[in-house]
Amino acid sequence: RLKVQRVCSEMEELAEHGVFLPPNMQGLTDDQIEELKLRDEWGEKCVPSGGSVFKKDDIGRRNGQAPNEKMKQVLKKTVEEAKAIISKKQVEAGVCVTAEMVKDALDQLRGAVMIVYPMGLPPYDPVRMEFENKEDLSGTQAGLSVIEESEAQLWWAAKELRRTKKLSDYVGKNEKTKIIVKIQQRGQGAPAREPIISSEEQKQLMLHYHRRQEELKKLEENDDDSCLNSPWADNTALKRHFHGVKDIKWRPR
């Protein structure tokens, strides 16, 4: 799943700004590249199907020769489909994400890249390196998310689920029990607890609180006592009703 996420992220950049520049050209200005007489040989070979559209990469990682709109949509549509396959929403739909489904997502992504770049990508492009399992994640934020199986620990309800025990030792033998387990690097202790309410619920709560504050503020500012002249505010109305002196009006003849 992490690999699919990384590939999707890089393919979105590939669709916007073309293939990766050689490592010795990344971050350099056009003048510096010309002064050093550097040449992007792979960039000249890796021309997207249907021609390219120049869209400069402000970060300076890619060569700016982006695919045309049709080919860009091929990449982006495939990225969205792959994200849907590994999405956490699959849990809500009752779908179990398997290794085979993840492999299918990677195959779809690989196929889309082959359609747009039939000649292949440069060997140093992150997308190609991911497909060939040659990616180097050392020193990156993405590398922190990858935990080797031997270094992984499972945690649930602030308890470490030890490998020597069965799951039933912790949650009982009811097969319909559902628990949410977190993976943590060995030696890092228990992971942070989940918030009691979700971020969306918190937003709704704050919105309701703000509206209530505004209503109370308006009530405090409203000191109009004209309502006291209303019939329902007359505390002698019942007495006058029984005396038969209701709605008597006086005026000179």
pLDDT reading at 115 higher than 80: yes
Cβ neighbors of 8 (< 8 A, separation 6 or more) are: 79, 82, 83, 109
Percent of the chain clearing pLDDT 70 (strictly above) = 90
Distance, CA of 83 to CA of 36 (rounded, Å): 41
- Kindly state whether residue 48 falls inside one of the protein's structural domains: yes
Output the pLDDT for position 248: 64
List pLDDT tens digits, range 179-201: 888 888 887 778 877 777 777 88
Q: How many domains does the chain have?
A: 1
Residue 218: inside a domain, yes or no? no
pLDDT band, very low/low/confident/very high, at 253 (cuts 50, 70, 90): low
Instruction: Note whether residue 55 is domain-resident.
Output: yes
How confident is the model at residue 109, as a pLDDT?
93
- The range of the structural domain enclosing residue 118 comes to 1-144
d(CA 238, CA 81): 73
Query: Is the residue at 186 inside a domain?
Result: no
Asked whether residue 28 is assigned to any structural domain, the reply reads yes
Residues 118-127: what's their mean pLDDT?
Answer: 89
**Structure confidence at residue 7 (pLDDT):** 92
pLDDT digit string (tens) for 50-98? 888 888 888 888 888 899 999 999 999 999 999 999 998 888 888 888 9
| Mean pLDDT for all residues in the chain | 84
